[in-house]
Structure 1
Amino acid sequence: MSTFDILMRQLWSMWTGFIALLPNIAISVLLVILTALAARLCRRIAARLTQHAHIRESLKQLVDTVVSIAVWVVGLMIAATVVLPGLTPASLIAGLGIGTIAIGFAFQDFFQNFLAGILIMVRQKMRIGDVIECDGIVGRVEHISLRETHVRKLSNELTIVPNSTLFKNPVEILTDKPHRRHEIVVGVSYDTDLDRAADVIRSALEGLDVIEKDRRIDVFAKEFNASSVDFTVRWWAGSKPLDMHSSRDAVIRAVKSALDENGIEIPFPYVTNTFKEPLGIHRSSQDAPQGDEAAQSGLGA
């Protein structure tokens, strides 16, 4: 038997085997379609069950995703065993366990973001709508998925942040509470009575409506600056960025007006120049009075 005959016999054997598998392939394709329909139906059922539950929106999305993944895994395993009758669920799981090591190394960043997304959704802090600051990004959380988080910056740009970045780096949640503390630095001249200046600044803040009246107003002498004694002024107001800017604007205006009314100076920076040797002042001949003008000036004097 020639090599050509052997090759043709092998190709014919493969073709007949493929024809014999066509019913199984058709059944597996039907199972995949049914799996897709079942996954969609299960997601709807899960969404309906979690709709009335008092849980965060991110957890609802997590439940829907986990249910869909579970249905797809079961359906694909059944479809694979139909196409390959010798493949059992135990051998398939064992093969997946060995292949998972290689897949894990190849898609390390993907799975890292995936697991970080699950942990972010499960933890109670950082909800959708919170204003956060992380790794130089400041904005409002719009969407949390299993791989990434959408953060709308305060200037309206959208930043897509990998979940691993939010999980590994410190995240400041600026709107975790409805109010937070703000502060500014106010400088007064060195000849100012510091007790009086502190009372004037505190009285200016107490008359404002944009700050929390139930929280304490702090006015502390901070340091001796180059041309002023600096006070740290702290108050409580809304935690949103707009509340911060509004309250700071009102506080600065009120403090400036109160200090002006009481004759307390907010000094400009003073600069003192010292020289190693005395400087002589010489008048040039062009500036000196000449002739009759000099005499007249002398007589007039």
Structure 2
Amino acid sequence: MDQTTEMITQIKPFQIVTEQLQGLIQGAIALLPNLLAALVIILLTGLVAWGAGAMVLRLLNRSKARASLVEAVRKLVRLTVWVFGILIAMTILFPNLTPTKLLAGLGLGSIAIGLAFKDIFENFLAGFLILLRKPMRHGDDIECDGISGRVEKITIRDTYVRKRSGELILVPNSHLFKNPVEILTDEPLRRVSIVVGVAYGEDVDTARSVIERAITPVAEHESDKPAQVFATEFNSSSIDFLVRWWVNSPPIEEHRSRDKAVSAIKRALDQSGIEIPFPYRTLTFKEPLPIQKADDTE
């Protein structure tokens, strides 16, 4: 009796494992048609996603949209097709999983993902808006919140800005979207200015004429717009003139034009004998200071 009981005890776990394996095999065989159907849906989803991406690429290229925007829209369309395809495949593979349950789970998951990746989605949306508004193009020079340089690439999440000293900055699109961005090369020309001071003892009209003659060749070399010279302020030691003219938009062209303008104005004022003053300081004392003559040591 003890041997029989021992044999039954040994056989029972083996039977349980065998029954479980048989159940799993039968379940897998029963799900085999659904699995094949789900695989077919996945393959069709891949074909549809590829076709939709190619169609979007063709349509947007005809409209001469930005390359970055075309690529972003193509990826978004393909992602949407894949999401719907996977949802359909899951409902076929697991019959108890209804579309309503899937959508409810997808909604809760979207909220959780949205809270966890808030900054990423914020940059994603800002990137789309930047690409749609076309405020700046590849190759533009920009300045934004202490960041300045040339735009090399605009993606959905970041904008690649090459500093004028050579370093590359990856700027989140939300930063560019929230802060004022100055696009230096939006137009072919932009106006620059310098301030030139002359001494109080000089004639204002004469000084203005000399400065105008000096800046005119520089301005005409840059554009057909005339330069402007205005007497603007009584400064501490000089009469200040505001000199304005138009230059080509790239920052390097501005530096070259400023160099020519400063050199030409300085040379013209020197040739005319007009003084460019430096700050004067006058010291006054309440009482006369004694002056002591230096002893003759020779």
- TM bin (shorter chain): 0.7 to 0.9
Query: 81, 84, 92: which one pairs with 1:74?
Result: 84
Query: 209, 216, 227: which one pairs with 1:217?
Result: 227
- Report what 1:246 is aligned to: 256
Matches of 2:167 and 2:44, distance apart in 1 = 41
Tell me how far 1:53 sits from its aligned partner: 2.9
Which letter does structure 2 place at the counterpart of 1:203?
R
Which letter does structure 1 place at the counterpart of 2:91?
T
- Report what 2:49 is aligned to: 39
Unaligned runs of 5+ in 1: 294-301
Is 1:196 matched up with 2:206? yes
SS in 1 for 2:193: strand
Matches of 1:10 and 1:231, distance apart in 2 = 99
Which letter does structure 1 place at the counterpart of 2:223?
E
Cα gap change, 1:11/1:261 in structure 2, threshold over 3 Å: closer, same or farther?
A: farther
Which letter does structure 2 place at the counterpart of 1:211?
E
Tell me how far 1:19 sits from its aligned partner: 6.2
Matches of 1:127 and 1:60, distance apart in 2 = 14
Q: CA contact under 8 A between 1:129 and 1:141: conserved in structure 2?
A: yes
Is 1:139 matched up with 2:152? no
Matches of 2:118 and 2:146, distance apart in 1 = 25
* TM-score, scaled relative to structure 2: 0.84
Cα gap change, 1:159/1:32 in structure 2, threshold over 3 Å: closer, same or farther?
A: farther
- Report what 2:280 is aligned to: 270
Q: CA contact under 8 A between 1:133 and 1:173: conserved in structure 2?
A: yes
Matches of 2:67 and 2:287, distance apart in 1 = 75
* TM-score, scaled relative to structure 1: 0.83
Deviations 1:232-276 (A, max 9, x none): 111111111111111111111111111111111111222222233
Which letter does structure 2 place at the counterpart of 1:175?
T
- Report what 1:227 is aligned to: 237
- Report what 2:184 is aligned to: 174
Which letter does structure 1 place at the counterpart of 2:117?
F
- Report what 1:281 is aligned to: 291
Q: CA contact under 8 A between 2:143 and 2:184: conserved in structure 1?
A: yes
Unaligned runs of 5+ in 2: 1-8
Q: CA contact under 8 A between 2:233 and 2:240: conserved in structure 1?
A: yes
Q: 1:110-129 residue pairs with structure 2 within 5 A?
A: 110-129=120-139
Cα gap change, 1:228/1:40 in structure 2, threshold over 3 Å: closer, same or farther?
A: same
Query: 99, 114, 123: which one pairs with 2:109?
Result: 99
Q: CA contact under 8 A between 1:210 and 1:246: conserved in structure 2?
A: no
Tell me how far 1:135 sits from its aligned partner: 1.5
Tell me how far 1:9 sits from its aligned partner: 9.6
Of residues 226-235 and 95-104 in structure 1, the stretch that sits farther from structure 2 once superposed is 95-104
For this pair of structures, how many residues does the alignment match? 285
Q: CA RMSD in A?
A: 2.8
- Report what 2:3 is aligned to: none
Is 1:159 matched up with 2:169? yes
Tell me how far 1:76 sits from its aligned partner: 1.9
Cα gap change, 1:9/1:109 in structure 2, threshold over 3 Å: closer, same or farther?
A: farther
Tell me how far 1:228 sits from its aligned partner: 1.3
Which letter does structure 2 place at the counterpart of 1:206?
T
Which letter does structure 1 place at the counterpart of 2:222?
I
SS in 2 for 1:210: helix
- Report what 2:4 is aligned to: none
Matches of 2:287 and 2:27, distance apart in 1 = 106
Q: 1:20-35 residue pairs with structure 2 within 5 A?
A: 20-21=30-31, 24-25=34-35, 28=38, 31-32=41-42, 35=45
Matches of 2:174 and 2:28, distance apart in 1 = 45
- Report what 2:215 is aligned to: 205
